[in-house]
Amino acid sequence: MRLIQEHPILEFQHGRKVPFTFDGEGMDGFEGEPIAMALHANGVRVLRITPHLKQPRGFFCAIGNCSSCFMVVDGVPNVRTCVTPLVEGMKVETQTNKGTVPPLPKQPTR
């Protein structure tokens, strides 16, 4: 993992080290840090593939305004990984389309 250990202006602390998977590969990150940060520290530079042109997108705005970091997290598409905290055991996957939300279970009628 490549992490900033010291910074001349900012002070920060890492949470506890936790495992997660990215496209089926086991990785480690720090609990509470943005998912995109954990991926970057593990050498991942492509966060998604654009739906129309099939081009790779990487880390861009880091504040949740663009769609460059959209990924599928625990089966949920279009998660903004630059602002979503890492949780132990997360399953993170590259998103290659616009993302589809699975239909809700049918509710019983009264």
Fold type of domain 17-94: Ubiquitin-like (UB roll) (3.10.20)
Cα–Cα distance for residue pair 57/47, rounded to 1 Å? 6
> Taking the domains of the chain in order of start, what are their residue ranges?
17-94
Confidence band, pLDDT 50/70/90 cuts, at residue 75: very high
Q: What whole-number percentage of the chain has pLDDT above 90?
A: 45
13-71 pLDDT, tens digit each: 778 999 999 999 999 999 999 999 999 999 999 988 888 888 888 878 878 888 888 89
Phi, psi of 92 (to 5 degrees): -110, 135
